[in-house]
Chain A
Amino acid sequence: MSELTFTQRFHAYANPTRFMALSGKLVVPLGIITAVLIGAGLYFALLDSPVDYQQGETVRIMYVHVPSAWLGLFAYMVMAGASLVALVFRHPLADVCAKSAAPLGAAFTFLALVTGSLWGRPMWGTWWVWDARLTSMLILLFLYLGYIALWATIEEPVRAARAAAVLALVGSINVPIVHYSVVWWNTLHQPASVFRIGGPEIATSMLIPLMLMAVGFTFFFVTLLLIRMRVEILRRRVRALRLATAEV
């Protein structure tokens, strides 16, 4: 396999059986890496990082809230990229990837909204505020839920895949809006402290646990994505078998 070019391998793993073989080998190692990263991240986040001079211990919610929000956006980008590949290159597994990523992204977005709300009540005095950042994240959740609903409603898989791909691509305009919402509008949510021109302005002792948690969450997302893709491929095989026996 290693003497193939990247493009050749890209097309090779379009074969679901090869994908199942490779992903089956990857899931357990990725899971172990996830556990190690999140474990280390939690140790530093909860025990070995400084308290905030204003917020005290409550700032530690940030180490869950921020990576969740990042992963919510990242999952949508994975979904939109997979949808583009599905529509343009007709890669057979691209729509499986997009379908599998959606509930994960929705869960991360929901987690970000809930942890943000729990953080907001003691710190900023409110469970919710209709500023640009929170509203655009809520719209992101609506987009995820609509995408999942579309897959669930259209029964024919090929038709559902193409329609869902169109929806994911149209909704991808919300991703830059979420990121730049704190720049374009005056919000209660704080402006970007890490992903900004000029580099991160957060203290290193807080940046390291944050990055550990973020990378750990990303590996968690990839592990679950592979598992969900495998389940979806198996589900389609069952459906095909059922249809074949029904014709007999």
Chain B
Amino acid sequence: MMRAFISVVKRDVALAVQVGGGGGMAVFFFLVAVSLLPLGIGPNLNLLAKIAPGLLWVALLLSSLLTLDRLFQADFEDGTLDALLMGHLPLELTVSAKIIAHWLTTGLPLVIAAPFLGLLLNLGSAHFLPLVGAMLVGTPALSLLGAIGAALTVSVRRGGLLASLLVIPFYIPVLIFGVAAAGSDVSIPGAQHQALMLLGAVTLVSLVLGPVAAAAALRANLRS
């Protein structure tokens, strides 16, 4: 079973890299979104420094939302998902493998890009390491929870916007704790550490909830 799991991960990573678009375009969108915000708000560097953690997290969320329909739609349309459903691996583990591949090819590149984009927003030097740490803890939750929305709308043509709408309420705790864990508010001692712990809790819960709910949603879409 472990071999089957790893082979699904490798297949999805290979597809994402070869077909292209997923990770690279998400980082590109991240860059564009982060560039739009100062153009809208004004170039005041002090103001940008204050809101940089929040802006980076929101842009990360939006970039992540755009990549969700790559998770299941292609495999649903050409019948691969039916084959995987009948296969040796339980659907929950197949979904987990796909989510791991999605995070490796989308979430991780976004996290790597984030500190460089932080330079564009004059992010304070003390915030870089906490921000990357918080994003490393939080982006798996984004992939896991996003899989639920992707699975629910897999049978809907052009359902990307609906998937984003369904997933945003679940992303909000990740956003709130992620920004606090990046150290945006230093007035309360220990708040940053507490937020990081809570962010980790959200990721751990989504580690169970995401694949189970996504598998249930896929079964609902595949069988009817």
Which residue in chain A gives the minimum CB-CB distance to B152? A163
The residues of A with any CB-CB pair to B shorter than 8 Å are 87, 135, 139, 142-143, 145-146, 149-150, 153-154, 156, 158-159, 162-163, 165-167, 169-171, 174
Q: How far, in angstroms, from A145 to B209 measured CA to CA in the complex?
A: 21
Contacting pair B224 A156 (CB below 8 A): yes
Q: How many A-B residue pairs have CB under 8 A?
A: 60
- Chain A residues contacting B224 (CB-CB under 8 Å) are 156, 158-159, 162
A150: contacting residue among B162, B170, B213, CB under 8 A = B162
Q: Which residues of B contact A135 (CB under 8 A)?
A: 172
**Interface size bracket, B side:** 20 to 34
Q: What are the 5 closest A-B residue pairs judged by CB atoms, nearest first? A: A162-B220, A159-B224, A146-B166, A158-B224, A142-B169
Contacting residue for A153 out of B153, B169, B170, CB 8 A: B153
Is the pair A153, B162 in contact by a Cβ cutoff of 8 Å?
Answer: yes
What's the minimum C-beta distance from B101 to chain A, rounded to whole angstroms?
22
Known: A162-B216, A165-B220. 19 other contacts (CB 8 A): A87-B216, A139-B172, A142-B169, A145-B165, A149-B165, A150-B152, A153-B153, A153-B156, A154-B156, A163-B152, A163-B217, A163-B221, A166-B148, A166-B213, A166-B216, A170-B148, A170-B170, A170-B209, A171-B169
Complex contact A166–B220 (CB within 8 A): yes
Please name the residue on chain A nearest to B224 by beta carbon: A159
Nearest-Cβ distance from residue B176 to partner chain A, whole angstroms: 8
Contacts of B166 in A (CB 8 A): 146, 149-150, 167
Task: Return chain B residues, CB-CB under 8 Å to A163.
Answer: 152, 217, 220-221
29 A/B residue pairs, CB under 8 Å, sorted by A? A139-B169, A142-B165, A142-B168, A146-B162, A146-B165, A146-B166, A150-B162, A150-B166, A153-B153, A153-B156, A153-B159, A153-B162, A154-B156, A159-B221, A159-B224, A162-B217, A162-B219, A162-B220, A162-B224, A163-B152, A163-B220, A163-B221, A166-B217, A166-B220, A167-B148, A170-B148, A170-B209, A170-B213, A174-B169
Query: Which residue in chain B gives the minimum CB-CB distance to A162?
Result: B220
Report if B122 contacts A (CB, 8 A).
Answer: no
User: Do A154 and B148 touch across chains, with their CB atoms under 8 A apart?
Assistant: no
Using Cβ atoms and an 8 Å threshold, which residues of chain B touch A158?
224
The closest CB in chain A to the CB of B156 belongs to A153
| Chain A residue at minimal CB-CB distance from B216 | A166
Residues on A with C-beta less than 8 A from B159 are: 153
* Minimum C-beta distance from B212 to chain A (A): 9
Chain B residues whose CB sits within 8 angstroms of the CB of A149 once the complex forms: 162, 165-166
Expressed in whole angstroms, the Cα–Cα distance for A200 and B169 within the complex equals 31
List B residues 190-224 near A (Cβ within 8 Å): 209, 213, 216-217, 219-221, 224
Interfacial chain A residues near B170, Cβ < 8 Å: 170-171
In the complex, what's the smallest C-beta–C-beta distance from B105 to chain A, in angstroms? 25
Residues of A within 8 A of B213 (CB): 166, 169-170
